Structure 1
């Protein structure tokens, strides 16, 4: 069906790394770090064009009627303006009405940045902006939750800084900083500053020594490689330094699930990536690790994983023993010890 006459197609959201000035910029999504990055990029671009830029900050939640138009009104020297509006998702009724009027006819030499972290408040304004009013653009800043998304962010950060990182090193770093991506970005910058523009697993290991998640993956790597004694030593070292057993179990389970996904899968890893929800290098690694396994042993291991999780979360008075048993089970590829 043809679009209604006069209707505007919705604008396509841009990635945060593509942020640039426009008469109206909607920065949407819950990831505050990416939103800050986008805002900094817009401000830097405007300052580069004219150092006389005036910057005004507005809180949409406490906004009073007419404030936006007062800030945007022409000045004696006609300096360009950047108006940054925070908390649009909590905006007052007065802001919502003024913003809808403003977006319909933005002021000249003015960039209005609307920060909306999510929710339904202000939907009428968002619909107006997304419909293309005011020559608007939208910068999407979603929360990066999935392992692959965080890994992609790490790789992008290294490229942005002109550095090269091995796939294994990028994975280790993403695992070591599983909290906010601001911390992850800081770790990348510090690593490049300290080491240089070529980063390998060895540099990441030294830089992240002692972090819980890194210890967890070292334990899991040793277990899935069949090095039971080494895995057990690493596990006991981690636990003795106060590492919680849950992240170690999570790292081990992630690798077991990866092996289960690739078991019996045929075809090039690049072709399977989309189907399995894994990166090609992850598929290659999981295939190598699952090679010695039998299907029935892998199935029993998945059952034991669920049992171990229950034991670690209150089902046992000796959770460390349960984790040790599971770890050795994985290291033996699900087979009973031979005498």
Structure 2
């Protein structure tokens, strides 16, 4: 059974809650860990005597699940967390299917499946009639890759912490922590801890000072805004302080591709955002940045970005000059 056709409730990680069986599906490890922690904390709040047991599905031995789930003398509630169901042994899959028919009272079983076909029959059973009868739920932790999704995550983290920050400030945070999602969440938590709940863009700038990604987006913003002098100054400053050219180029290419996507597009920002996998504010900004460009010159910019990447990766003895030429081309709108 496909996840989209599941009979049990499918929740976002922010809505995770305990249930007799909780399936945590999807490849985004940080969100999966956050979900498991939320469930554990909720169960502990109900009963501090909660017993917690961890199982590695790949190393599982037959009967282990039923031994752990069997009632104890004092009937303490149990949380059984099973990791790596996508690598589960045949014994675990067989026992887990049996468990769905004979679930233990007072026990919460959390199944973590990171993706792939292994264990699909078990997932179908959890999502189907057996899971529905038990009151199972699924928490979907899809991979977060797109800038718009990362921005939405950052804004959700800020709301969770009761903090306020402008969209521009949140975007700067996302740009500065463009890698691991946990690092972004940790940075937001630290920022709120250090600066309080009413945050400014200046707070973000001070907190992210020296981050490679933040410097890269400053260069890209100046170039696409047509500020030739600022773009060159920021580029040279970044290179002099040891910033690698590749992240600088990546930030430029990201903005140029966004401009190319929206250049001749028609429709509202919301409609175009859905079409192009962008946030509405990204569409509006890209549309503003295309002003003064001709379509042919923007197409040349896309080609020049690909050529510059080749030059930076060994095709030139002077990669910094190649990057500077690309920045100038963008800042002068292809002129």
TM-score tier (shorter): over 0.9
1:280-318 deviation per Cα after TM superposition (whole angstroms, max 9, x unaligned): 211222222221222232222222122112211221111
Residue matched to 1:3: none
Contact 1:222-1:228 within 8 A present in 2 as well: yes
Could you tell which deviates more after superposition, 108-117 or 302-311? 302-311
1:49-87 deviation per Cα after TM superposition (whole angstroms, max 9, x unaligned): 112211111222222221111111111111111111112
**Which blocks of at least 5 consecutive residues in structure 2 are unaligned?**
none
| TM score, norm. by length of structure 2 | 0.93
- Alpha-carbon spacing, 1:130–1:263, altered in 2? closer, same or farther (3 Å): same
Could you tell which deviates more after superposition, 70-79 or 291-300? 291-300
Give the one of 8, 11, 19 matched to 1:11.
Answer: 8
Residue matched to 2:93: 96
Contact 1:168-1:200 within 8 A present in 2 as well: no
- Alpha-carbon spacing, 1:268–1:120, altered in 2? closer, same or farther (3 Å): closer
The 5-angstrom pairing of residues 41-190 of structure 1 reads 41-133=38-130, 134-190=134-190
1:166-190 deviation per Cα after TM superposition (whole angstroms, max 9, x unaligned): 1111111111111111100000111
- 1:36 matched to 2:37? The reply is no
- 1:242 matched to 2:242? The reply is yes
Residue matched to 2:315: 315
Question: What's the offset of the Cα at 1:333?
Answer: 0.9
Residue matched to 1:20: 17
The 5-angstrom pairing of residues 317-332 of structure 1 reads 317-332=317-332
For 1:66 and 1:207, the matched residues in 2 are separated by 51
Residue matched to 1:192: 192
Question: What's the offset of the Cα at 1:32?
Answer: 1.6
Contact 2:297-2:334 within 8 A present in 1 as well: yes
For 1:281 and 1:9, the matched residues in 2 are separated by 33
- Alpha-carbon spacing, 1:9–1:188, altered in 2? closer, same or farther (3 Å): closer
The 5-angstrom pairing of residues 249-288 of structure 1 reads 249-288=249-288
For 1:298 and 1:73, the matched residues in 2 are separated by 66
Contact 1:9-1:132 within 8 A present in 2 as well: no
Contact 2:58-2:84 within 8 A present in 1 as well: yes
- Alpha-carbon spacing, 1:9–1:245, altered in 2? closer, same or farther (3 Å): closer
For 1:260 and 1:278, the matched residues in 2 are separated by 13
**Which blocks of at least 5 consecutive residues in structure 1 are unaligned?**
1-7
For 1:270 and 1:199, the matched residues in 2 are separated by 27
How many aligned positions are there?
A: 328
| TM score, norm. by length of structure 1 | 0.92
